[in-house]
A and B are shown apart, each in its own frame.
Chain A
């Protein structure tokens, strides 16, 4: 996916999926062609999704391979059964993934709330340089630093440990999240805090009772975006984990994909659908955040 980058120092541009404004009345043929294009494009997007749903939920006829599309014989939960409680061991994989990614997102949230507050309210000499550096870290692809990251993890005795993967994921989420949090805390007027201080509240109290409740939508958006990133992370678990009991979902899927000959795609796709469930939920309920977050980095020029 495109790197997510926060906008810098400028008002967030308005982004809508719906078009607006004045439009000339178009010729019906013109409109028809646009519809044709959009529908063909949508079909192209959706076709690849038929296979995982088909093979995960149905029995195939004897003669065909599950790698291909087929006319289903009957509906079945068997593949999910195999995936969760049988050979797929998806329960362990899911538990590892949820714990690691959840822990990483929580850690990043706490760290970035504090850091974002300091960046928003503090005035210090190298602030812009620091923010510039944080953004630079965000843009550099992780692929370029992954070998030395492995060495650091080895020194810290974090190889083959979910803590190591979680820390790596949190570090990966921090730059983007810091920017987002700073932006949202900027939008909470300092006067609100000052009024509370006059009433005798401490900085910690105003932080917990005024700033964060007001910045909560931003916290939610940042959490969803970084969850999505960490949930899909593959490279980090691939190099750090070797013990199958500690595999995360993407690693388990990858091992299954390359390990077996005569692969049971029904089970594999059942695992895949379980893995993609959060992605689909994010798509349905938080698509706008995701699009806006990804877009901000490219829209700031306007």
Chain B
């Protein structure tokens, strides 16, 4: 009885496989097909759609708005990663050296935004970004003599990167901190005995030893940024104009604003392939074996 019989094995796994096939695998396969058609959400093309070959993809590669969306997503991803990496790593290096009273509590406060739903992040930051001199961020900037800024109009990319920073930087920090603290004490001690100075300790010992943690964090964060939708959509709806129309919002707009499901699916396929690429690298690093 130690071995599960094939029948019960199948019985146990089938609900999960059914759900994943129906709501994940099938949509993905369907998307491939739809991306080669001119299917629309409404109107005559909703019923009488036809196979149009690669025309959607050709159109995408010539669509300046699509290029714009890709570039914005790349910009968003790079800025988000850089900001969180620098602050997260600096803070982790400082904190890993000593134990401070109340540090646990302060770290807990710093990761609080992790649990806040995207739509609420957008809501509470709409007041932070409030225009005029009464907006919270403008008031704080005012103490330093900065003139009021129309944050979401004049610096939309900075604004959405800032909210992501507020949301996730604390996590990067405690992640790197945990990575540093998992380095065996003996390694640090023997390096000290061998006369390593502070910089050597950092570049030769600590950074190489946490490089996997950093890489995996980087990949997860990158995939998350590529798929970003709710926070940015609720905060700016892609605007002003299309200044924050990230890839996810572009796909949504093609499908549900312009009703071009075929064209939108083609864009989604490209996003899927980019994310799959990152996901495979991620899993290689995780040492998942087949």
Contacts and interface: CB of A to CB of B under 8 A. Distances in A.
B16 to A, nearest CB: 4
Contacts of A13: 178, 182
A281 B271 CA distance: 35
Interface string B227-242: 1111001100100000
Given A234-B230, A299-B175, A152 B27 contact: yes
A49 B124 contact: yes
B216 A297 contact: yes
Contact of A141 (B96, B178, B210, B275): B275
A9 interface: yes
A44 B256 CA distance: 36
A144 B227 contact: yes
A45 B268 contact: no
Contacts of A141: 223-224, 226-227, 248, 271, 275
Interface string B77-91: 000000000000001
Given A8-B288, A37-B91, A147-B261, A298 B234 contact: no
A145 B31 contact: yes
Contact of A291 (B95, B111, B130): B111
A31 B107 contact: no
A142 B139 contact: no
Contacts of B233: 234
A121 B166 CA distance: 42
A144 B91 contact: no
A216 interface: no
B261 A151 contact: yes
A228 B114 CA distance: 10
A77 interface: no
A67 interface: yes
Contacts of A3: 220, 223-224
Nearest to A124: B9
A169 B91 CA distance: 36
Contacts, number: 359
21 contacts: A18-B99, A18-B103, A19-B103, A48-B125, A67-B126, A114-B12, A115-B15, A139-B282, A143-B226, A143-B228, A144-B272, A147-B31, A148-B28, A171-B24, A172-B23, A175-B20, A194-B2, A232-B117, A280-B115, A287-B115, A291-B114
Interface of B: 1-4, 6, 8-9, 11-13, 15-17, 19-20, 22-28, 30-31, 34, 91, 94-100, 103-104, 106-120, 122-128, 130, 134-136, 139-140, 166-168, 170-171, 174-175, 177-179, 181-182, 185, 210, 212-213, 215-217, 220-221, 223-224, 226-230, 233-234, 237, 247-248, 251-252, 255-256, 261, 264-265, 268, 271-272, 275-276, 279-280, 282-283, 285-290
Interface of A: 1-3, 5, 8-10, 13-24, 26, 31, 34-35, 37-39, 41-42, 44-52, 64-65, 67-69, 110-112, 114-115, 117-119, 121-124, 128-129, 131-132, 134-137, 139-152, 167-168, 170-172, 174-175, 178, 190, 194, 197, 203, 228, 231-232, 234-235, 239, 250, 253-254, 257-258, 265, 268-269, 272, 275-276, 279-280, 282-283, 287, 290-291, 294-295, 297-302
Given A145-B272, A152-B27, A295-B178, 18 more contacts: A19-B96, A34-B94, A42-B106, A48-B166, A51-B128, A67-B134, A115-B17, A132-B288, A141-B226, A143-B252, A146-B252, A150-B255, A254-B234, A257-B119, A291-B111, A291-B114, A297-B286, A300-B286
